[in-house]
Amino acid sequence: MVDMCYICCITSSGGFGMGSRSLLFIEGILLLVAFIWGINPTIMKVGLFYLPPMPYNAVRMLIALLFAWLMLGLSKTYKPFDRQDVKLILLIGSAGFFIFQLAFTFGVQNTTAGNSSLILALVPASVAIINKLFGIEEIKGSMVIGIGMSLVGVIFIVMGSGKEISMGNDHLFGAFMMLIAQFAYGYYSVFSRPLLNKYSTYQVTAYMVTVATSLFIVVALPSLMPVKWVEVPLIAWFSVLYSGVFAICVGNFLWMWAIGKIGSTRTALYNNLSPIFAVASGYAFLDEGFGWLQFFGAVVIFLGMYLTRKDKGTASAT
């Protein structure tokens, strides 16, 4: 399990300077997030073998909610929200995080894994577009190139994995849901940053998860009732526990902390490292293939990130 005191130290509201060591530390944290999210699909497959997607997602969000409030309590960083910020966190939690979770759940059920991977790879582009439209962060040419290379790298990884990519009628609804999901996550990533200037990462994330979970439970309630929970095996509960604690709670705590340090555009690029870890975990535990095309895709992603590494303009508000 993650050391709670360690997380409380690295994600406190006090800032790092942006020296080379600080940047390396932030990049290391984002690599950890990419790893957590990358192996999550492999672990989720185990739980989804025993539970339908809606109940599975509802329970993992409840677990994330409990853990988020535990971490907020341990951090001792809570302070009352200003009235205007209550409206903002309700809006971001519902239109951003909740819509992402709901659309993602429907999307993965109704489209191919290849479609899902490619559409989710658009998150950095959505974040950049939102930032540009609202004048929140400056987007330089090197960042645009990095985003493009990141997307190309994901395409190579999907092609190398043999996952089906289809725009047939039976996959269009799912693809549309995934498109909504990635845009909602981009919205959540961009507009949560002003809150991070006033409140701790713990408080903002805990309230985001609270809003999203409350809404999701209402939607998922009919699908929760028929489940025979006492018959769910221990391995499925392990899957739900990992996905709730690490993929939703810890991953989003660290993601938002990084947004507060280096901006949402640069942070969003690390989203596209997750397929690399997904392929690696599938190869290690599910006997899935790993070839040169996937390796080349990973190299392209890292090269794109290297090009943007010293682009400090993306982290500053205009």
Top-ranked range on mean pLDDT: pick from 90-104, 120-134, 167-181 = 90-104
As a whole number, the mean pLDDT across the chain is 84
Of the pLDDT bands very low, low, confident and very high (cuts 50, 70, 90), residue 1 is very low
DSSP label of 11: T
Tell which residue, 176, 238, 264, has the closest CA to residue 46: 238
In a domain, 1, yes or no: no
Q: Is a pLDDT exceeding 90 seen at residue 9?
A: no
Q: pLDDT class for 280, splitting at 50, 70, 90?
A: confident
Residue 290 φ/ψ region, left for φ over 0, alpha for ψ in the -120 to 50 degree band, beta for the rest: beta
The boundaries of the domain holding residue 225 are 17-315
- Residue 272, in any domain of the structure: yes
* Coil, strand or helix at 76: coil
The Cα–Cα gap between 29 and 24 comes to 9
In a domain, 265, yes or no: yes
Average pLDDT of 106-133? 83
Tell me whether residue 7 is in a domain. Answer: no
Torsion angle (degrees, nearest 10) of CA 13, 316, 302, 40: 40
Asked whether the predicted pLDDT for residue 287 surpasses 90, the reply is: no
Residues forming a β-bridge with 137: 317
Whether residue 146 is contained in a domain is answered as yes
Confidence of residue 160 (pLDDT cuts 50, 70, 90): low
In terms of phi and psi (left: phi > 0; alpha: psi -120 to 50; beta: otherwise), the region of 120 is: alpha
pLDDT of residue 291: 67
Please tell me the chain's helix, strand, coil percentages from 3-state DSSP, rounded to the nearest 5: 80, 0, 20
Residue 16 has pLDDT above 50, yes or no: no
Q: Which three-class secondary structure state does DSSP give residue 137?
A: strand
Q: In the structure, what pLDDT confidence band is assigned to residue 283 with cuts at 50, 70 and 90?
A: low
Predicted confidence (pLDDT) at residue 288 exceeds the cutoff of 90: no
Rg (CA), the chain: 19
Give the total number of structural domains in the chain: 1
Q: Is the pLDDT of residue 17 over 60?
A: no
Q: What is the pLDDT of residues 178-219, one digit of tens each?
A: 889 999 999 999 999 999 999 999 999 999 999 999 999 999
- Asked whether the predicted pLDDT for residue 261 surpasses 80, the reply is yes
Left if phi > 0, otherwise alpha if psi is -120 to 50, otherwise beta: which for 81?
beta
193 φ, ψ to 5°? -60, -45
User: What's the pLDDT band for 293 if we cut at 50, 70, 90?
Assistant: confident
CA dist., res. 106 & res. 83, Å (int): 34
Closest CA to 141 of 304, 30, 271: 304
The pair of three-digit structure tokens given for residue 257, joined into one six-digit string: 């902390």
d(CA 149, CA 156): 11
| pLDDT of res. 285 | 60
**Residue 9 maps to a domain:** no
What band does 40 get if pLDDT is binned at 50, 70 and 90?
confident
Question: Does a structural domain hold residue 3?
Answer: no
Start-to-end C-alpha separation, the chain: 40
Residue partners of 168: CB distance under 8 A and separation at least 6: none
**6 inside domain:** no
pLDDT of residue 63: 97
